Amino acid sequence: MRWSNRMQALVVGAAAVVTFAAAAPLIGGASLSRELGPMSPVGNCSSVGGHSTVGGHSTVGGGSTVGGQSCTGPGPLVTLSSSTVTGHGRLTVTGLDFIVGEKVFLYLANGTKTPPSLGTVTATAGSFLKHVTISGIPAGTHTILAFGSRGSSASVNFELLPSFVVRALSVRPGATVNATVAGFHGGETLQFGLFRTTKRSGCPAVLPPKSVLLATAPSPVVTVVTGKTAGTAAVALTMPAVVAPSVYTVEVVGAYGIRDCTGLSVK
């Protein structure tokens, strides 16, 4: 999808209000109005001072009519199964108060002119449920957009957290362990560190002074640049041969400051 310069999105908290001007966004060269059908104001209703107008029908008191369907209240709403998700994680998107039977197109707003599609779903009885996988974007706050074929629209924000998974719970000194990372920027260089702790824990605010830089293979580790795997990497971490048996925290830090930690025992 290529966004028109005249389409504006106003994000307030966990919801966005999307306003379409005269020029519709394009999908593969086709106008959004041709692809999705006639567009209406935000949601099923728009309201100024209690007076709403949709498709030429106006009422007082917040009610309006779209294609013969009554509409009251704030309009369509999308919610998520969780407000946070890790890289390559899954979310369940639930839509409420959409127009009965309309086809809903889901997109992941990623700051580009061609936001990736998260699939389509039909708003049976005005509601829908869709499982989506979040990948190819860096950690931070992101938005899922929902556009109905009959003009409904809504959005919701979520927080993407980085993912760092070491493929072992324990390792011997001098051994190598495989790990994967996700939720980083595509093409950035990653650095890994090891420091002793009393228990497996999350990242501390400041690294202890005796942290050890881990050897990696290949070195340096650079995250994938394009596609659904952008910002991911597979890495082999080599433990120092002289490290003492204990519980350790392993940290990964990206060139843009994104960091994550996981626990590991050295025996």
Quote the mean pLDDT of the chain.
76
Question: What CATH number is associated with residue 249?
Answer: 2.60.40.10
Confidence bin at 117 (pLDDT 50/70/90): very high
Do you find a cis peptide bond into 138, omega within 30 degrees of 0?
no
Does 104 lie in the same domain as 92?
yes
Rounded to the nearest 5 percent, the helix, strand and coil shares of the chain are 5, 50, 45
Round to whole Å and give the CA distance between 129 and 150. Answer: 18
Confidence bin at 201 (pLDDT 50/70/90): low
Assess whether pLDDT exceeds 90 at residue 3.
no
Last residue of a domain, one of 102, 130, 161: 161
Distances (CA, A) of 68 to 56, 71, 210: 12, 9, 70
Assess whether pLDDT exceeds 60 at residue 163.
yes
Question: What CATH number is associated with residue 16?
Answer: 2.60.40.1930
H-type helices in the chain, by residue range?
32-36
Does 156 lie in the same domain as 169?
no
Does 103 lie in the same domain as 186?
no
Confidence bin at 14 (pLDDT 50/70/90): very low
Assess whether pLDDT exceeds 80 at residue 38.
no
- Domains in the chain: how many in total? 2
Does 229 lie in the same domain as 192?
yes
Does 200 lie in the same domain as 211?
yes
Within 8 A by CB and 6+ apart from 11, the residues are 143, 155, 157
Question: Reduced to 3 states, what is the DSSP secondary structure of residue 32?
Answer: helix
pTM (2 d.p.): 0.69
